[in-house]
Amino acid sequence: MSTTKGLEGVIAAQSSISSIIDDKLTYVGYTIDDLAENASFEEVVYLLWNLKLPNKSELDQIRKDLVTNMQVPDAIIDHLRSYDLSKVHPMAALRTAISFLGVLDEEADNLDEDANKRKAIRLQAQVATIVAAFSRIRKGQEPVKPKDDLTFAENFLYMLNGKNPEAIEVEAIDKALVLHADHELNASTFTARVCVATLSDIYSGITAAIGALKGFLHGGANERVMAMLSEIGEEENAIPYIKEKLANKELIMGMGHRVYRTGDPRAKHLQRMSSELTKLTGQEKWYNMSVKIEEYIKKEKGLPANVDFYSASVYHSLGIDHDLFTPIFAVSRMSGWIAHILEQYENNRLIRPRAEYVGPEIQTFIPLENRD
């Protein structure tokens, strides 16, 4: 029996949802570059769930379905209010809120295809509301209800800030949502598929996925990137800081990727958005600092930036709290998780790998009174 640490390079499933081949990322055969420049997040959600782009009436319908399902049960808001939110990480709050949604949903254990599609809409719509409500409640503000005439990205920013967003803000969030929507069998997606392969419910699968995304080697990386940039402070400190980190063999967050070798194709889109937003908000040092760090790491270690690296300065420029970066990742990746869960249900087989045993040989049991 051969083993691969971290399952690196192991093919664990067949999927029609997304692919990473020769460092090109596609959703259902459409390149991420094409989608990032041309598609709205709602179009991508439809694409991932239905394996085709929507026509106009289909797009209108999914937009309507999402906005009309955005309001969460009052019990969820009351639950968020019950926390000491100054001490709770928003990913922990989100994980628990999603699990609670499953308790409240009468269809939670109904695994019929139609029921799962209805739950999919509710989950995708309500995850944005939960993240925004958490942010406002911990600031002593009242949650904001969504508006029927706004897109998904517009509504998220509206519920977060309590005012209609600027066009550049909507473009940035919509693009980020598209770029983070799916990424083949990443850690959280694989976790979701393992969970529902037992024929557990969709809420359990999503809760498990959020638990995996919470880790800083996965979704938490963008938060760590901004913490690093904040610690560096000024452009002139960037290279000395990185040199010291490398000398101490410390990990530089947001650089390199397990799958990509020549570079993450998503990064350039958020790099351009970071350049525009930091210039617009007078915070160009964050972009300039990021570019210097990427160029130095690429030269010294051959590692280009991944999608987390520039998403940090994009979200910071939008005035978003740093610990909300990963929950926003979850708002987007919900679409991919759901797509993979639905695909797993369609052609299910329990995911049960083996482990290579490296412990002691067969031993003889020693009675307690004879043990040293």
The residues carrying an active-site annotation are 257, 308
In degrees, to the nearest 5, what angle opens at C-alpha 267 toward C-alphas 21 and 328? Answer: 105
Nearest-angstrom CA–CA distance, 232 and 286: 10
Tell me how far apart the terminal alpha carbons of the chain are, to the nearest angstrom. Answer: 35
Cα–Cα distance measured from residue 72 to residue 78, given in angstroms and rounded to the nearest whole number: 11
Residue with the two structure tokens 């691969």: 4
DSSP code per residue over 232-249: H-SGGGHHHHHHHHHHTT
Interacting residues of 156 by C-beta distance below 8 A, sequence separation 6+? 128, 131, 132, 173, 331
Nearest in space to 136 (alpha carbons), one of 156, 165, 109: 156
The answer to whether the beta carbons of residues 308 and 255 sit under 8 Å apart is: no
47-53 contacts, C-beta under 8 A, 24 or more apart: 48/17, 48/18, 48/181, 48/182, 48/335, 48/336, 48/338, 48/339, 49/117, 49/120, 49/335, 49/338, 49/339, 49/342, 51/16, 51/17, 52/28
Write down the H helix ranges in the chain: 32-38, 41-50, 56-68, 74-81, 90-104, 113-137, 152-161, 167-180, 187-196, 202-213, 221-232, 238-247, 267-280, 284-301, 307-317, 325-346
Q: Which of 223, 222, 206 is nearest to 264 (CA)?
A: 222
In the beta sheet, which residues pair with residue 25? 20
Question: Distance between CA 253 and CA 227 in Å, rounded?
Answer: 10
Token couple for 65: 């379905």
Half-sphere exposure of 53 (CA within 13 A, CB side): 12
